[in-house]
Structure 1
Amino acid sequence: MKIQALLEAPCEWLHPGEQNSRIVLSSRIRLARNLSRFPFPGWARRTEREKVLALALPAAVGLSAMKEAVLSDSMDHFTPVEKQVLVEEHLISREHAGRNAGSGVVVNRTRTISLMINEEDHFRIQAFKGGLQLKAAWRIADKADTELDEKLEFAFSPKLGYLTACPTNVGTGLRASAMVHLPGLVLSEQIGQIVKAVNRIGLAVRGLYGEGTEALGNLFQISNQMTLGESEEEILERMHKVIGQVVQHEENARQKLLEERPRLVVDQVSRAYGVLANAYTISSKEALNLLSLVRLGMDMGLFPDRCRTIVDEECLIKTQPAHLQLSQEKKLSTEERDALRADFLRTQLRDVPPPETGQLSSPLHS
């Protein structure tokens, strides 16, 4: 299967980035673009969407970033499980997973760039980097955008900028986002204040899989909401500054927890490790929330740093429902997935020693 070949290749954005990779897992740039003289996908007939796909798919495959593309196909050629795997990998949206004939996707081998064709817009160009590397991700997306613009005619207004299906994307069509891990702010009950503060300055805070989803595993997506009236550079600068401030708040929250409530930290991390290492059935939600606490323990030095790869590259992604089903090449019931997930986690955590709690657990703080 093509999707199996994709998953067997190393995923670059899962590797630590240059800055704040403990807290900022990944950076993503998404550009919305549409072809002129074609209706937006939501208004288009199937024959019109298929015409767009016939133009867009070869243009996307021909990008320099796609020299080693391992996935390029129409959405009706994927099974429901394969589509959900792509959602869990953050390569397509949940909405795009519901598309069939007339829509498509192209992904390169390292999963640093993904193009959705005929989602809400004719093109959704997505570029990914590990850690806080918005500008590096922007360079990937911008290069792909430039190459496509040389082959195709985009819908553009000298007054408004790029025209998009949703008015909130008109202008640059740029959405910059970062996936941040904020267990310190959650444990210290400060997350609500941070979300409100970020929202007040025109940014959005969403869950693990974007708009309308839950922040499982203390993972949040922070993104800009304005695309009109600001240049790409201004958007990226503002995003970088705000995310840097959120990272600082998370660092301060963790430090305060260590100083004032070390037993709480040790208890939460140790319980999480104990359940994950010994459970024989566990849900996706519980696994993500417990893995978040183990990851926090790694950041605080309670586990060897070599174990981070096991959590970030193996457990966080491969325990998701569709990944488990794909590994078994069949549809599984909830009970079967929960049992398989627990077996997988126990196996992976054999190489992770129990947390070193001596130094943190000794003070008798509340």
Structure 2
Amino acid sequence: MDWNPRPAEELWELISKNDSPSILKGILTEELFHKLKDKKTSFGGTLAHCMSSGCLHFRKNAGIYASDPEAYSVFADIFTEVIRRYHRVEILNHPEPYYGSEEQIRALQNIDPDGETVISTRVRVGRSHAKYPFIPVCSLQNLVDMEKETACALNSLTGELAGKYYSLADLDNATKEQLITDHFLYRHDDETLRDAGLYKFLDKGRGIFFNEAKTFICWVNEEDHVRLISMETGGDIASVYLRLVKAIREMEKRLTFAKKEGYGFLTFCSTNLGTTLRASVLMAIPNVCKQPNFLDVLNKYNIQARGTWGVGSANVDDIYDLSNKRRLGLTEFAAVTEMLNGVRAIKEWEEELVRINKTDK
């Protein structure tokens, strides 16, 4: 099914009369709305495409999604301020990509060499085809063409990255559910993304690629056009990150991705642009998570704690997904290093609390 946003005036009426805690609500004045409401990108993206979800769901988030790579320029009066406020930066001067040398990457220490607390480690990035709009503005042909081009690039990978692409249209429901349960495949059940137009032509032009070991995965047209994911059990961040860097470099030989000076790599959601990198570990922290200063310590190390199954999910058995909070204004290698240092500090805190509890008994 296709999707089109509600008329811009109707969306303005909704958000202007409601108390939304979103960043969009805080900056979208009537004057600014009328200045931008009739503008269009060359892809056909409009302000209504960008603000649709934020005007229907009043949540504490950015409240706006980009219709296409050009939206960051055409609607810069909004996006620049949203990005500044969300990422807490004064100037958008994101550096050029730097993933670290192979020597630097291999020197990254295993977070949990004894295999006691870290269940798994994952590093992912999002990428957008420069020549296509984001999904809400895509035609069915756009999606089909993107899937074909991306699948062709993925299927040409060799060595440990070599694998097979599976189109969602060809997978039965039981296989999809098993892949979701195994943390390999994404869901389509977020109402804020639905009302941003992300689920149009559902299952068409979408799919998943994974290598034989399932340590390298690529989601195609899930949220971003391409989401590259490296993962494995345990805490060997060097192994996981090095594999991802190899995948990024190989894909860049085959596809052209959208970038903007000062903004880094462009993504559908402005909260993810820049490096687009999220490095995370799934770790049990049953003592730390109950401490009254837990959130303060997370903020100190720029670490974000999410549920066991990712954003919006609950915590099972005190297992948290811990990842780097900063993605804009620093290099990829710096983001991974920041996550590593923060998670190691939290792990050491957990171990200290275990020792104290044993002594008290």
TM band (smaller chain): 0.5 to 0.7
Alignment of 1:48-127 (within 5 A): 48-65=142-159, 68-69=162-163, 71-95=164-188, 99-127=202-230
- Deviation track 1:48-94 (CA, whole Å, cap 9, x = no partner) reads 1111001001211211256652x521112223332222222222233
Residue aligned with 1:32, SS: strand
Q: Is the 8 A contact 2:302 2:338 kept in 1?
A: no
**For each residue in 1:7-55, what CA deviation from the matched residue of structure 2 results, as whole angstroms up to 9, or x when unmatched?**
xxxxxxxxx9862521111111101011111011233222211110010
Which residue identity does 2:285 align to in structure 1?
Answer: L
Take 1:185 and 1:226, find their aligned partners in 2: how far apart are those partners? 22
Indicate conservation of the 8 Å contact 1:65/1:113, yes or no.
no
- The 5 Å alignment of 1:344-359 reads none
* Partner residue in 2 for 1:248: 348
What amino acid is the match of 1:205? A
CA distance in 1, matches of 2:248, 2:154: 10
Match of 1:275 in 2: none
- The alignment status of 1:164 with 2:264, answered yes or no, reads no
**Matched AA of 1:38:** Y
Asked which structure has the greater RCO (Cα within 8 Å, sep 6+), the reply is 2
Q: Note the C-alpha offset of 1:157.
A: 1.9
The equivalent of 2:113 in structure 1 is 19
Tell whether the 8 Å contact from 1:177 to 1:221 is kept in structure 2 after alignment: yes
Structure 1 residue runs of 4 or more that deviate by more than 4 Å after TM superposition:
65-68, 96-99
CA distance in 1, matches of 2:181, 2:187: 9
Go from structure 1 to structure 2 and tell me whether the alpha carbon gap of 1:65 and 1:116 turns closer, same or farther (over 3 Å shift). Answer: farther
The corresponding residue for 1:34 is 128
Q: Is the 8 A contact 1:184 1:253 kept in 2?
A: yes
Q: Any unmatched runs of 5+ in structure 2? A: 1-109, 191-198
| Paired letter, 2:125 | L
Name the CA distance, whole Å, in 2 between partners of 1:159 and 1:68: 34
Residue segments in structure 1 that go unaligned for 5+ positions in a row: 1-15, 262-366
TM-score, length-scaled by structure 2: 0.62
| Shift, 1:216, TM fit | 0.8
Q: Does 1:185 align with 2:288?
A: yes
Coordinate RMSD, CA, aligned = 2.3
Change (3 A) 1:255 1:226: same
Whole-Å separation in 1 of the counterparts to 2:230 and 2:188: 18
1:203 is aligned to 2:297: no
> Where in structure 2 are the equivalents of 1:330-341 lying within 5 Å?
none
Distance in structure 1 (CA, Å) of the matches to 2:189 and 2:134: 14
Cα pair distance change 1:126/1:142, threshold 3 Å: same
Separation of aligned partners in 1, 2:111 and 2:356:
26
Alignment deviations for residues 299-342 of structure 1 (CA, whole Å, 9 cap, x no partner): xxxxxxxxxxxxxxxxxxxxxxxxxxxxxxxxxxxxxxxxxxxx
The one of 311, 315, 319 aligned to 1:219:
319
* Count of residues in Structure 1 that have an aligned counterpart in Structure 2: 242
Letter in 2 for 1:22: E
* 2: CA distance, partners of 1:232 / 1:143: 13
